Structure 1
Amino acid sequence: MDHSTHGTHGTQHQHHPGHHGQPASAASWSTAVKATLHCLTGCAIGEILGMVIGTALLWGNVETMVLAIVLAFLFGYSFTLFAVLRVGLAFRTAIKVALAADTVSIAVMELVDNGIIALVPGAMDAHLSDGLFWSALLGGFAVAFLITTPVNKWMIGRGKGHAVVHTYH
């Protein structure tokens, strides 16, 4: 499907995969970095908020991590959702665009970040006032960014992921 005109009456730019289903040209690293930073911002806000809430409520590690992951997805999707709603997309279409644009990126980021937190000795039991909590969290974000950027570059180069959002700019 040609996303460049779907739901927009042909008023958008024609950034889409090549003709007849051919892959789009390779995405630039700059575009991939911007897409990953966009995703990381939403994920970080949601995840930190979830960790703070779970820790403040004295929840266990599993409950806190589940809340953090749910909020990471929620905030990650919301950044894209609100951006495409501002350009006039209908709500249902905007939801589909956000899901298509961000699901893989957020999933990779959360898998890597939370995996690192789980593997750092003592990080799961650290409190908000502990340096270990923040270093494990921020270190996890940094590694997740490094791993997710090439994934986003690959997806954008094939007209997937954040490339879907760019058809509406």
Structure 2
Amino acid sequence: MQHEAGTRHQHDHHSGHAGHEAHHAAGPAGWGMAVRATLHCLTGCAIGEVLGLVIGTALGWRDLPTMVLAIALAFFFGYALTLVAVTRAGVGFKAAVGVALAADTLSITVMEIVDNGVLLFVPGAMDAHLSDGLFWGALALAFAVAFLVTTPVNRWLIGRGRGHAVVHAYHS
């Protein structure tokens, strides 16, 4: 019994320490973690979105179904990257799904709203073909703007012990 209580005390102390780390993440170091979290999110989103746009464009789909596919794949690959990292850290699949949803949903949502919004506002971007510089230039611009908008969102989440702060706990 005493060993159990000691273990519980150590666990409670560690839990308090995790909150302490999250509090410090809001400081200058929080920007570095926010940038890394946003780059992680951007990687998954870019893989999915490019794949969706390539498939939709190659099949001659209209804008709406192409964007729906691109967004769905962006979420899929965004979550998949986190799932791989967290399961490699020894977390079971079901728990890892919960971590991925908690860590990435807001970040991916903001990123997708911003980058698709930029694509819709760039004249001719949605009608450009894969071989057009406009297609790739508009996509690069959209990702850059989404990165700039999503980084402060991730910093805010991390500063509150949410978002990629949750994932970071499994890497420590």
TM-score (norm 2): 0.86
Query: How many residue pairs are counted as aligned between the two chains?
Result: 155
Find 1:148's aligned residue among 122, 134, 150: 150
2:18 and 2:144 map into 1 onto residues whose CA distance is 30
Partner of 1:17: 19
2:70 and 2:84 map into 1 onto residues whose CA distance is 21
Cα distance, 1:17 vs. partner?
A: 2.2
1:17 and 1:37 map into 2 onto residues whose CA distance is 24
> SS of the counterpart of 1:17?
helix
Residue identity (%): 68
Report which of the two structures shows the higher radius of gyration computed on alpha carbons.
2
Partner of 2:53: 51
Cα distance, 1:18 vs. partner?
A: 4.0
TM-score (norm 1): 0.87
1:158 and 1:76 map into 2 onto residues whose CA distance is 21
Contact 1:120/1:136 (8 A) holds in 2: yes
1:129 and 1:62 map into 2 onto residues whose CA distance is 20
Find 1:86's aligned residue among 85, 88, 94: 88
User: Which letter maps to 1:24?
Assistant: H
1:47 and 1:17 map into 2 onto residues whose CA distance is 34
Partner of 2:99: 97
> SS of the counterpart of 1:24?
helix
Partner of 1:7: none
Cα distance, 1:167 vs. partner?
A: 1.2
User: Which letter maps to 1:120?
Assistant: V
Partner of 1:125: 127
2:46 and 2:170 map into 1 onto residues whose CA distance is 25
Partner of 1:41: 43
Contact 1:16/1:167 (8 A) holds in 2: yes
Cα distance, 1:168 vs. partner?
A: 1.1
Deviations 1:126-147 (A, max 9, x none): 1111111111111000000001
Q: Provide the alpha-carbon RMSD of the alignment.
A: 1.6
Unaligned runs of 5+ in 1: 1-9
> SS of the counterpart of 1:121?
coil
Unaligned runs of 5+ in 2: 1-10
Higher helix share: 2
1:161 and 1:71 map into 2 onto residues whose CA distance is 20
2:63 and 2:129 map into 1 onto residues whose CA distance is 11
Contact 1:36/1:148 (8 A) holds in 2: yes
